[in-house]
Amino acid sequence: MTDHGEFDAAAAQVNPSVGLAGTLFPGGHRLEARVYFADTDFSGVVYHGRYLEFFERGRSDYLRLAGVHHKELAAGQHGEALIWVVTRMEIDWRSPARIDDILTIETRTQAISGARITMAQVIKRGATVLVQAKVQAAVLGPDVRPRRFPKEWIDAFQPDKPA
């Protein structure tokens, strides 16, 4: 395991569930997470704001496994210092999650244009869709102005093209 939370590729072939950061698949990323008591509200279901945190974990680990590390970007280790910011989010809650549920957070790239990336995210319990989100993020420079999406990242985040 590296300091970024990736897992050994050989170990992943033996057991695909190995890896704190989840797994990549063509056009996206999948992460599992357990619902803990701290994630729930007084009624025993996941508090609505916690879903934003689950989505953030999914996006962050997608970036990490694709080779984009927030700390390295902010430090300018790959050229100009860059940061990612969420600029828009649409969320549809369909069904509640409860304590001890195992959730699957899936993140897929929908589009990349200029400084923006649009991602579709879903949180499921088994086959049941609990929450869906459409997220738009932008890449900003140190002056907090938009920067074009770096060319070397486009292949890593290219939306899965239907056959």
Active-site residue list: 41
Q: What is each CA distance from 154 to 21, 97, 112, 119, 160, in whole angstroms?
A: 20, 34, 8, 13, 12
CA separation for the pair 4, 124 (Å, rounded): 26
- Give the DSSP letter of residue 19: -
What residue has token string 């680990």? 61
Total count of residues recorded for the chain: 163
Structure tokens at 51: 């879903």
- Under 8 Å CB-to-CB from 85, ≥6 apart: which residues? 137, 138, 140
Question: Helices then strands (H, E): number in the chain?
Answer: 4, 6
